[in-house]
């Protein structure tokens, strides 16, 4: 029998209740709550015209291997969730921000040194690529001088050297100003100096760079080139600043690292207090 549409359906315009077949074994009164049953549903053109059930022991399905093979998951209580320490999510996030547990343990707050832009080996020898690198570096230096500081300037230069070949050294090179804006977005958000965590907005940067709109998508590309994918079990706790995790410390300023160290030490202290309480309760 072919399927019917609403336009062809003779039931349209009629009350369904007038034609519905009422099953003669609808009642569930005689069934034991622990009794395994087989349910039957009869459909005609997608409509339920009859339904009934019978005990499994009285049905032809008794002994069928498919009956025992099917796992009725909804009949089992879900296993209790393992209790996770409240600071564990913070530790997981911080480890992702800096590049792992070892990097978090060894993190210091030493300021980034003043460094010149170092061109990658792939750019040396190509005058056009070198010129684009220099132009992007000048743009980033200008932004650091107006809105940020010397440590951010060093981070800008390091990031540009790390990803510049991918952005402005290919067959279809990016505009140096657009590339610089992308580096600024990634590094600025990683250090919490761009909105929403910081005071400098994309609108202000657009006015400074002469751009109609800020290339945030370019910034996410730079962040992806600089960092590592975020594990699915890691997420930023809502109480922590909304920063871009790059999974590296060489682009973080001393202020950013001091804040991370303070959070790290707070989680260590919380874990120590919890351990002491457990020992006291077991005594």
CB-side neighbour CA atoms (13 Å) of 240 = 22
Both 66 and 132 in a single domain? no
Low-confidence ranges of the chain (pLDDT < 50): 1-31, 73-74
Domain boundary residue, one of 75, 107, 123: 75
- Cα–Cα distance measured from residue 54 to residue 57, given in angstroms and rounded to the nearest whole number: 8
SS3 state of residue 182: helix
Both 93 and 163 in a single domain? yes
Both 71 and 95 in a single domain? no
Q: Which residue has the tokens 């009642």?
A: 27
Both 97 and 232 in a single domain? yes
Both 58 and 173 in a single domain? no
User: DSSP character for 200?
Assistant: B
- Please report the pLDDT score of residue 212 as a whole number: 94
End-to-end CA distance of the chain: 75
- Please report the DSSP string for 9-70 in residue order: -TTTTS-HHHHPPPPTT---TT--TT--EEEEEEEETTEEEEEEEEEGGGSTTTT-HHHHHS
254-257 contacts at long range (C-beta below 8 A, 24 or more positions apart):
254/109, 254/110, 254/111, 254/112, 254/151, 255/151, 255/191, 256/190, 256/191, 256/192, 257/107, 257/108, 257/109
- Please report the pLDDT score of residue 45 as a whole number: 85
156 in any annotated domain: yes
Burial of 213 (C-beta count, 10 Å sphere; 0-12/13-18/19+): exposed
Both 249 and 112 in a single domain? yes
Total domains, the chain: 2
Which phi and psi angles does 77 have, rounded to 5°? -70, 135
Both 199 and 249 in a single domain? yes
Q: Which residue has the tokens 């800096």?
A: 98
Both 31 and 126 in a single domain? no
Find the largest Cα–Cα distance for the chain: 89
5 in any annotated domain: no
- Please report the pLDDT score of residue 138 as a whole number: 97
The parent domain of residue 37 ranges over 16-75
Both 180 and 47 in a single domain? no
Both 93 and 37 in a single domain? no
Express each pLDDT in 189-206 by its tens digit: 999 999 999 999 999 999
147 in any annotated domain: yes
Both 44 and 113 in a single domain? no
- Please report the pLDDT score of residue 62 as a whole number: 84
Both 195 and 113 in a single domain? yes
- Cα–Cα distance measured from residue 35 to residue 10, given in angstroms and rounded to the nearest whole number: 40
63 Rama class: left (phi>0) / alpha (psi -120 to 50) / beta: left
């Amino acid at each position: 029998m072919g399927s019917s549409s609403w336009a062809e359906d003779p039931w349209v315009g009629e009350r369904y209740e007038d034609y519905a077949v009422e099953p003669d074994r609808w009642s569930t009164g005689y069934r034991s709550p622990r009794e395994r049953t087989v349910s039957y549903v009869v459909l005609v053109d997608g409509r339920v015209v009859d339904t009934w059930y019978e005990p499994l022991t009285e049905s032809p399905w008794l002994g069928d291997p498919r009956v025992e093979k099917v796992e009725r998951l909804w009949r089992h209580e879900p296993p209790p969730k393992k209790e996770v320490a409240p600071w564990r999510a913070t530790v997981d996030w911080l480890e992702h921000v800096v590049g792992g547990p070892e990097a978090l343990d060894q993190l210091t707050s030493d300021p980034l040194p003043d460094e010149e832009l170092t061109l990658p080996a792939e750019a040396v020898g190509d005058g056009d690529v070198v010129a684009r690198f220099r132009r992007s570096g000048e743009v980033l230096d200008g932004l650091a001088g107006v809105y940020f500081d010397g440590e951010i300037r060093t981070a800008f230069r390091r990031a540009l050297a790390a990803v510049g070949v991918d952005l402005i050294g290919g067959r279809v090179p990016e505009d140096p100003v657009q590339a610089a804006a992308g580096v600024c977005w990634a590094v600025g958000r990683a250090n919490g100096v761009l909105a929403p965590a910081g005071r400098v907005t994309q609108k202000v940067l657009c006015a400074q760079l002469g751009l109609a709109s800020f290339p945030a998508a370019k910034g996410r590309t730079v962040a992806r080139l600089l960092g590592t994918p975020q594990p699915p079990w890691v997420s930023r706790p809502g109480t922590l600043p909304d920063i871009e995790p790059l999974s590296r410390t060489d682009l973080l300023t001393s202020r950013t690292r001091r804040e991370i160290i303070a959070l790290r030490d707070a989680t260590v202290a919380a874990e120590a207090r919890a351990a002491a309480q457990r020992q006291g309760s077991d005594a």
